[in-house]
Amino acid sequence: MALQSIDPTSTKAWKNLRKNYENSKGNHLRDLFAADPNRAIAFSLQWNDFLVDFSKNRITKETLALLLQLADEVDLKDAVQKYFSGDRINVTENRAVQHTALRAKKTATVLVDGENVIPEVYEVKEHIKTFSEAIISGKKKGYTGKPFTDVVNIGIGGSDLGPEMVIKALQFYKNHLKIHFISNVDGDLVHEVLQELNPETTLFVIVSKTFTTQETLTNATTIKKWFLKQAQHKDIADHFAAVSTNTKKIAEFGIAAENVFPMWDWVGGRFSLWSAVGLSIALAVGYDNFDTMLSGAQQMDEHFRTAEFDKNIPVVLALLSIWYNNFYNAETEAIIPYSQYLSRFSAYLQQGIMESNGKSVDRSGQRVDYQTGTIIWGEPGTNSQHAFFQLIHQGTKLIPVDFIGFKKSLHGDVEHHNKLMANFFAQTEALMNGKTPEEVYKELEGLKLSEEQIQKLLPFKVFEGNKPTNTILIEQLTPKSLGALIALYEHKIFVQGVIWNIFSYDQWGVELGKHLAGTILKDLQNSEIADHDGSTMRLLQAFKS
Ligand code: G6Q
């Protein structure tokens, strides 16, 4: 069954949230903390080894109660049930949304169109295991009898960003295989990567759910030609694997049947790293680590599915995001992990969040008259402190930030880790407290500046503070905690989509891009240019001249 269509702005909660916003927008977080010493306890959640502190948000208990009421009024409970039970909630593509089935326990039953998909999921997992173990151990060899040293993942968007992010995130757990990513159709990238490779010892994994994506097929074809300069056609069977729903096209490409990994149309590209799309992850860190990551996600699924909404991390974080997006008119959200391993995490979530919730038509087909999807951006701390944090501290825009940090580092260098985490805590504290004119005055007085100098400098050194942050403090970056962290944001996306009354699992904007280039490519290849607007015409002529 499809999700219900309820306009969130028609709910009682929405109207009361508006009032709550008007009454509370003048509050300063500093005062809220002074008024309630237990605020950090009331507004935090402990789940397994995750501590989520959301007390540094511009909310009162009443705000949170109203946000939770909003979730009830749009019947989030019903939506969650449909999300997990294989209903075709991706209505515009007429598909179920079952990436959670990919990490479900073997004993689970997940029905898609009346059929339990779990046995098939586990069959593919077994294939990922045997294949990756044979490559890692050197049992499976290249066409000249040498073990593999390099793996190239050829895919784009959802068939690239997830595996790339996770392999960076789990670098500590990596084995000897060097993993490369070719996504962009930019030939300079392909040729740069190929220069580093020896065809005798390289495995190519072509990942494309549809196996029709121009970028991926172009890159795969270029690579195949390069490979065949040294190897024979029959050697393709040892060196190429493919992940796709389109088995016919894979066969046409010449991939051996035993190297074909199926995918399902009930898994969206941006949620597919848990499937065989994550084959390069299993190759990089070993199947057991890949599977542990899945089990971390499964635990988060369980939490999301069963925890009461006021104790439910994805629900609470989604509601807070809606609070700023729809009441404070904040347009962007930053995600700042204090771990260099998570350097691609924000870019990965950028796709997940912006592709899913970047919609302006509601589930009844009407244009919405309220804001939906937030703009996501971010880079790891502490580097970002030395770059764009200035704007978060003193700019004119309100930017809620998620700070993600770990209690223990992986290499165990306590001195470094304490310095890293001192910055982590200091930033959220400073963003909240700011610096008052009185404090700045005292500071400048201490520097023995004249009264005139103090008055001149003072306005520039004041920090308003009151900048909202969530702190997600996790024990350590492990395959398990990473799996749970990714799943947390996946469910946050779902909750926001439900409340905004939009369809989160289609991506017509991406599909548009897949077709647009075709016409112009003809203009570039042919001598004649078809009719275009004046600007495009002039640019095409300049390009061809
Ligand atoms: C993801 C999107 C998109 C997709 C790529 C690659 O949710 O649909 O990013 O993953 O366009 O598509 P293929 O895997 O079909 O090549």
What atom of ligand 1 comes closest to residue 271's alpha carbon?
A: 7
E-state strands within 424-525 = 469-476
Cα 269 to averaged position of ligand 1 atoms, centre (Å): 5
pLDDT number for residue 218: 97
Whether residue 518 is predicted with pLDDT greater than 90 in this model: the reply is no
Q: Where are the alpha helices (DSSP H) in 449-478?
A: 451-461
What is the atom index within ligand 1 of the atom nearest the CA of 216?
16
Other CB atoms within a 10 A radius of the CB of residue 137 amount to 10
Interior CA angle at 73 toward 71 and 78, to 5°?
70
For 379-511, list the strands marked E by DSSP: 401-408, 469-476
> Over the chain, what is the mean pLDDT?
97
Q: What is the pLDDT of residue 241?
A: 98
Cis, peptide link before residue 382, omega less than 30° from 0: yes
Q: Which of 284-298, 370-384, 386-400, 504-518 has the weakest average pLDDT?
A: 504-518
How much of the chain, in percent, has pLDDT values that exceed 70?
100
Structure confidence at residue 519 (pLDDT): 85
pLDDT tens digits, one per residue of 445-497: 999 999 999 999 999 999 999 999 999 999 999 999 999 999 999 999 999 99
Mean pLDDT, to the nearest integer, of 386-413? 98
| Domain 8-73+307-433+468-500 sits in CATH 2.60.40.10 | no
Please tell me the predicted confidence (pLDDT) of residue 513. 87
User: Would the pLDDT of 382 be above 90?
Assistant: yes
Phi, psi of 50 (to 5 degrees): -105, 130
- Separation of alpha carbons 201 and 199, rounded Å: 6
Residue 207 CA: which ligand 1 atom is closest? 14
**What residue's CA is closest to ligand 1, atom 11?**
157
Residue 300 confidence (pLDDT): 98
Q: 8-73+307-433+468-500 with 119-290: one CATH topology?
A: yes
Q: Which helix (H) or strand (E) holds 355?
A: helix 345-357
Q: What is the pLDDT of residues 36-68, one digit of tens each?
A: 989 999 999 999 999 999 999 999 999 999 999
Which has the minimum average pLDDT: 24-28, 393-397, 526-530?
Answer: 526-530
Q: What is the model's pLDDT at position 247?
A: 86
* Segment 428-452, tens digit of pLDDT: 999 999 999 999 999 999 999 999 9
Q: What is the pTM of this model?
A: 0.97
Pocket test for ligand 1, best of 185, 206, 213 (most atoms within 8 A of CB): 213
Counting ligand 1 atoms within 8 A of each CB, the residue from 93, 159, 349, 506 with the most, and so the one to mutate, is: 159
Cβ of residue 269 lying under 6 Å from some atom of ligand 1: yes
Residue 74: CB atoms within 10 A of its CB come to: 25
Which amino acid appears at position 333 of this protein?
Answer: E
User: Does residue 98 have a pLDDT over 90?
Assistant: yes
CA distance 199 to 350: 34
Which tens digit of pLDDT belongs to each residue from 212-254?
999 999 999 999 999 999 999 999 999 999 999 998 899 888 8
Residue 507 beta carbon below 6 angstroms from any ligand 1 atom: yes
Do 87 and 1 form a contact (C-beta atoms < 8 A)?
Answer: yes
243 CA distance to ligand 1 middle (Å): 12
By annotation, the residues acting in catalysis are 355, 386, 514
Tell the CATH topology of 119-290: Rossmann fold (3.40.50)
520-540 burial, b if ≥16 CB within 10 A, otherwise e?
beebeeeeebeeeeeeeeeeb
The ranges assigned to domains in the chain are 8-73+307-433+468-500, 119-290, 508-544
Q: Is residue 216 in contact with ligand 1, taking CB distance under 6 Å?
A: yes
Is the CB of 421 inside a 6 Å radius of any atom of ligand 1?
A: no
At residue 307 the predicted structure's pLDDT band, cuts being 50, 70 and 90, is: very high
**How many angstroms separate the alpha carbon of residue 219 from the centre of ligand 1?**
15
Residue 328 has what pLDDT?
Answer: 98
Q: What average pLDDT does range 8-27 have in this prediction? A: 98
Smallest CA-to-CA distance from 434 within 379, 392, 375, 471 is with 392
Q: For the chain, how many residues are written?
A: 545
510 CB within 6 A, ligand 1: yes
**Residue 501: what are its φ and ψ, rounded to 5°?**
60, 40
Query: For a pocket test of ligand 1, which of 97, 156, 351 has the largest count of ligand atoms closer than 8 A to its C-beta?
Result: 156
Q: Is the CB of 504 under 6 A from ligand 1?
A: no
pLDDT in tens, 165-187: 999 999 999 999 999 999 999 99
Q: What percent of the chain has pLDDT over 90?
A: 96
Q: How far is CA 22 from the centre of its chain?
A: 33
Section 135-150 average pLDDT: 98
Q: Report CA(471)–ligand 1 centroid distance (Å).
A: 31
Contacts of 117 (CB under 8 A, 6+ apart): 86, 98, 101, 110, 111, 264, 266
Answer whether 209 contacts ligand 1 (Cβ < 6 A).
yes
pLDDT band of residue 393 (cuts 50, 70, 90) is very high
Average pLDDT over residues 324-330: 98
Residue 109, SS3 per DSSP: coil
pLDDT at position 1, please? 82
Residue 219 CB–ligand 1 contact under 6 Å: no
Average pLDDT over residues 188-207: 98
The reply to whether ligand 1 has any atom less than 6 angstroms from the CB of 477 is no
Task: Enumerate residues 6+ apart whose C-beta is below 8 A from 180.
Answer: 150, 151, 152, 153, 193, 196, 197
